Structure 1
Amino acid sequence: MRNAVPPSGHPGRDDLVPGLRRERPKRRGRRVLAVLLAVVLVLLLAAAGAVVYLTSSIGNDISRIPDAFRGLDAGSRPASFGGTTFLLVGTDSRAAGPTTGAGADAAVDAGSQRSDVIMLGTVAPDGRSASVVSIPRDAWVDVPGRGMNKINAAYAYGGAPLLIGTVEQLTGIRVDHFGVIDFAGFTSLVDSVGGIDVTVAQTTGNDGVDFTAGENHLDGTQALAYVRQRYDLPGGDLDRAARQQNAMKALLDKVQQKVTTDPGAIYAFATSVGDAVSVDDSLSNAGLVQLAVGSRDLRASTVSFVTAPVTGLGREGGQSVVHLDAEQGAQLWGAVRNGSVAQYADLHPADALGSTPS
């Protein structure tokens, strides 16, 4: 197994993550990165065998986002299909301090910038499978009340409520919960389980970290460089989305391994989750317990990772945009609702996360 390490002469850990300082390693940074919060929590809590205790412990520490569903007309929103769906985003925040998690500045609006990552994480109605769908941030869509625009503009225009409304209109899927995590929190999650293992298609590098073709063991800082890279990748942002999914899958695999090999590490991971994550204030501790208990049979191998289908790249005015495939997209969103994303991925392998992303 090859280790991705900063090459000699390149900046160290603090220089790789601008704004991140050793004296406060968990709570600095300008960008935030979405993590599959729902599935991570389900696997963590159900597999650890201490659902109520750990959920209450984590839940009490998680920062809540007020009014994430403010102004959304209940009568016009998609009907629930029995599953649980999280809208997970990362934002390009210019705030000097953290915008998510327990240390977030309450005066900072995390929705004041455009979202950098958009994912729908859905646990199927039977709790035995889940899916993660990445929506390209430059997808050209109808933003309610704003007309056609990039989907990531919705967050800048109207914060969580407008982005939720935009995604629900696009997909026909009801968003049950909303969550964000900053990238310093992402590094702490990876470090809390001893790093992750990913396979890289070709030798490349980003932010002073080299990734060799084949298997790479990444610590938190290296994992961050991996998921943030888009230049020198043939598919640009689409390949970066695949890397983000690949890192999430690797994290889930590592959590599941730790359950049997190092149970004490699970509590450290749980503490990292509680410290870094922000979720909407409708997700109570009791709701977390219900989600974990209902999904206790879920395993990392039953999580399907796909990207919303596209017809190609283009330009709208002076903007570079991604055009979504509406016809094939309708098949995907239907598969999310009925819990058949794995079957969709088999039929459309180009949209599915491969074993060796670029």
Structure 2
Amino acid sequence: MGRMNRKKKKKWPWIVGIPAVLLLAIAAYVLMVYLDFTKTVKDIYEPIDRDVSGKRDVPVVFDKADPFSVLVLGVDEREGDSGRSDTMIVLTVNPETNSTKMVSIPRDTYTEMVGRGFKDKLNHAYAFGGIEMAMESVENLLDIPIDYVVQVNMESFKDIVDAVGGVNINNSLDFKQGKHIFPKGNIHLNGDEALAFIRMRYEDPRGDFGRQDRQKQIIEAVLREGASVSSILNYKSIFGAISNNIRTNMTFDEMVDVQKNYRKAAGNVEQLYIKDGQGQKMNGIWYYIMNDNELDQIQGELRTHLGL
């Protein structure tokens, strides 16, 4: 009996030690993710030359859960060219109503180039004056402050899609873009396919508005896949793709505050549509002329959502 008792006593340290080892491994993994994340955030952080938008009296305070806005610029950068912001999406986030409003601005919108004193296509603002002029021109157009900006290299956006293992979306239109064929229904897209999917607009009867919907689908799918368990286990590839292709003026501490105070709002996105304008040629160049009544309505809705 004494010998049997001694054998049982030898098993207990192993039984107790297994969960302890697992907890230690999980803690080490979480620490690695945290350290890599902080490094990634430092890599993508790019300050801009202003402390606060000219349309605000004081900066946004995340600890107070102030509503804020973000401009997402999808930039096509080519060798020897500063590039143009062919995708321009404005998000306003309100934690009190737990909601986010999203508006995609047609890239050919005819508006003032702030700082240049003339009007041109909105997507040219980035080429003329970089992120700052793009932000200020969008502010002037929508009559709201743009607090933060996220610049995405669209040519390499496919790397981010591939890093999360591709995306699943519900396609509402049969079409072909380049070498890629997109059947109607639920489809899985890799990085190259996702980039072609959001760039197509000429075969869509809704033109640029259909492209706006596809942009939203891909963005939501990337966020959804990025939060999945399989993507978390593949975090190094995701962080690497982010580091190479994204720049923002939001700091690490601000990102932590947004995650803590604005999570529910970010998960409830309402899309606003710019659809009542018309195309017009001036000096042989095609522009999109916004409908004044529709623009006034969108401006008012965004200002209300920001508590202005």
Partner of 2:270: 304
Equivalenced residue count is 270
Name structure 1 gaps, 5 residues minimum: 1-47, 97-109, 341-358
Partner of 1:22: none
Percent of residue pairs bearing the same amino acid type: 25
CA contact (8 A) 2:70 2:150 kept: yes
1:254 to 202, 212, 225: 225
Counterpart code for 2:278: G
Q: Please identify the structure whose Cα radius of gyration is greater.
A: 2
Counterpart code for 1:181: V
CA contact (8 A) 1:68 1:160 kept: no
Secondary structure of 2:277's aligned partner = strand
CA distance in 2, matches of 1:297, 1:123: 10
The 1:68/1:324 distance shift into structure 2, 3 A limit, reads: farther
Partner of 1:239: 210
CA distance in 1, matches of 2:130, 2:113: 12
1:230 to 189, 194, 201: 201
Counterpart code for 2:74: G
CA distance in 1, matches of 2:226, 2:36: 15
- Tell me, yes or no, if structure 1 residue 275 matches structure 2 residue 257: no
Partner of 1:215: 186
Partner of 1:289: 256
1:266 deviation in Å?
A: 4.9
CA contact (8 A) 1:127 1:297 kept: no
Name structure 2 gaps, 5 residues minimum: 1-29, 61-65
1:203 deviation in Å?
A: 1.7
Matches within 5 A, 1:298-337: 298=265, 300=267, 302-337=268-303
CA contact (8 A) 2:106 2:288 kept: yes
CA distance in 2, matches of 1:146, 1:152: 16
The 1:78/1:324 distance shift into structure 2, 3 A limit, reads: farther
CA contact (8 A) 2:95 2:264 kept: no
The 1:263/1:160 distance shift into structure 2, 3 A limit, reads: closer
CA contact (8 A) 1:78 1:168 kept: no
Per-residue Cα deviation, 1:284-330 (whole angstroms, up to 9, x for no partner): 22122222222233454x12233334322222221111121222222
CA distance in 2, matches of 1:291, 1:114: 29
Counterpart code for 1:85: S
Secondary structure of 2:247's aligned partner = strand
TM-score computed with the length of structure 1 as normaliser: 0.66
The 1:94/1:192 distance shift into structure 2, 3 A limit, reads: closer
Partner of 1:157: 128
Partner of 2:48: 67
1:61 deviation in Å?
A: 2.7
The 1:328/1:49 distance shift into structure 2, 3 A limit, reads: farther
CA contact (8 A) 1:128 1:299 kept: yes
CA distance in 1, matches of 2:264, 2:155: 30
Partner of 1:123: 93
CA distance in 2, matches of 1:317, 1:247: 35
The 1:299/1:179 distance shift into structure 2, 3 A limit, reads: closer
CA distance in 2, matches of 1:315, 1:334: 29
TM-score computed with the length of structure 2 as normaliser: 0.76
The 1:319/1:187 distance shift into structure 2, 3 A limit, reads: same
Between Structure 1 and Structure 2, the one with more helix by share is: 2
